[in-house]
């Protein structure tokens, strides 16, 4: 039988996520360098062909009710224009269905040439989120009965902005994917027979950058450092650093560090010109990581692209 401490930790994680104990943040990713579309709308169309990608993240594996994130995005340039378009879907599932939130966004970008190799893109996303909250599900994590008015598919409209500059070997972007700070539910009607939480989704600001360095004359081995920083009011600054190597444009491997939070290992396989597979594992460095019920966090990433043969020869893309 699992100890009461196990259930207590799981309950605290859920209440912390939906409540006002911490500022609510966007989902985090270890393979952010491949999942830029989810944090910066200006990235849409920048790969030069139709790109379809999915990512699954299971966080704090072993803790009942730990967060799961599913991400899907599709984007492409519009032929004979400076425009790109895309669709982004992010689903967060916490507490085995106790809290589910799905972000749905349509994306549009506009790109201009600023130098021989450099391109500058401006992006706009517009859509919103659907929130579901099952108070009955909280009773699975605690002996004390918890009640409240469930939330079913509450829609909150939103929009985001981004700027993204890139060459074949360098990129940098600044973005705010959701600029409307939403209050999901109010505790002003709280009474002794119900539990209500005040949940605010605050604005998340991102800075992402990286580059590609050739390490040998034959261009077989490349070094790919990357950085992601995220700033949100009421929460510590998040800094993700990664260093990976790319061999023969087919196999990548590296490590990453999330400041005061986790160490990570990453590997990637370019299975074909069209298909890429990426895997990542995080080990927490916080007190939560030392619990026997936390086996770390896992990510799997898959990308499919309609790559034409001459595109790969003329302008290979590394991010």
Q: What is the pLDDT of residues 96-146, one digit of tens each?
A: 778 889 999 999 999 999 999 999 999 999 999 998 888 776 655 555 555
Point out the least confidently predicted range of 91-100, 143-152, 262-271.
143-152
Q: 193: exposed, middle or buried (C-beta count within 10 Å: 0-12, 13-18, 19+)? A: exposed
278-292 tens-digit pLDDT: 999 999 887 665 666
Under a CB-based contact definition with an 8 Å cutoff, are residues 313 and 47 in contact?
no
Residue 171's beta-bridge partner residues? Answer: 166, 210
169-190 tens-digit pLDDT: 999 999 999 998 776 555 455 5
d(CA 51, CA 45): 8
Strands (E), the chain: 51-58, 68-77, 83-94, 99-113, 119-133, 151-166, 170-176, 182-183, 200-201, 204-211, 213-214, 221-232, 238-247, 251-258, 262-270, 275-284, 297-305
Characterize the bridge pairing of strands 182-183 and 275-284.
unpaired
d(CA 229, CA 1): 41
Can you give the pLDDT at residue 319? 83
Instruction: Give the residue among 210, 219, 217 at the shortest CA–CA distance from 243.
Output: 210
The arithmetic mean of pLDDT across residues 30-47, rounded, is 94
**In the CATH scheme, what is the code of domain 4-189+196-314?**
2.40.160.40
List the domain boundaries for the chain.
4-189+196-314
Can you give the pLDDT at residue 153? 85
Can you give the pLDDT at residue 270? 94
Model confidence band, residue 5 (pLDDT cutoffs 50, 70, 90): very low
Under a CB-based contact definition with an 8 Å cutoff, are residues 167 and 118 in contact?
yes
Under a CB-based contact definition with an 8 Å cutoff, are residues 141 and 64 in contact?
yes
196-213 tens-digit pLDDT: 555 567 889 999 999 999
| Model-wide pTM > 0.75 | yes
The arithmetic mean of pLDDT across residues 210-223, rounded, is 92
């Amino acid at each position: 039988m699992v100890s009461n401490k196990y259930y207590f930790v799981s309950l605290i994680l859920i209440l912390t996520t939906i409540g006002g104990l911490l500022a609510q943040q966007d989902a985090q990713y270890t393979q952010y360098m491949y999942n830029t579309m989810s944090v910066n709308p200006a990235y849409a169309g920048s790969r030069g062909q139709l790109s379809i990608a999915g990512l699954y993240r299971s966080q704090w594996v072993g803790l009942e009710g730990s967060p799961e994130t599913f991400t899907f995005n599709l984007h492409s340039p519009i032929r004979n224009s400076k425009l790109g378009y895309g669709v982004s879907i992010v689903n967060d599932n916490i507490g085995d269905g106790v809290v589910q939130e799905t972000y749905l966004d349509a994306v549009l970008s506009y790109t201009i040439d600023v130098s021989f190799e450099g391109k500058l893109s401006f992006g706009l996303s517009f859509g919103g989120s659907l929130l579901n909250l099952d108070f009955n599900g909280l009773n699975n994590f605690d002996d004390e009965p918890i009640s409240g008015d469930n939330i079913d598919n509450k829609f909150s409209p939103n929009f985001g902005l981004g700027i993204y500059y890139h060459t074949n070997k360098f990129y940098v972007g600044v973005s705010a994917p959701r600029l409307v700070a939403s209050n999901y539910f109010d505790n002003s009607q709280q009474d002794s027979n119900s539990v209500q939480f005040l949940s605010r989704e605050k604005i998340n600001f991102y800075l992402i950058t990286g580059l590609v360095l050739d390490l040998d004359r034959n261009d077989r081995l490349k070094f790919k450092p990357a950085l992601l920083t995220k700033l949100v009011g009421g929460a510590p600054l998040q800094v993700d650093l990664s260093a990976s190597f790319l061999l023969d444009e087919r196999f990548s491997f590296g490590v990453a560090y999330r400041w005061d939070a986790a160490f990570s290992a990453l590997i990637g396989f370019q299975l074909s010109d069209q298909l890429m597979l990426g895997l990542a594992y995080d080990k927490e460095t916080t007190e939560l990581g030392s619990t026997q019920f936390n086996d770390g966090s896992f990510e799997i990433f898959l990308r499919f692209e309609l790559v034409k043969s001459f595109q790969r020869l003329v302008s290979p893309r590394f991010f």
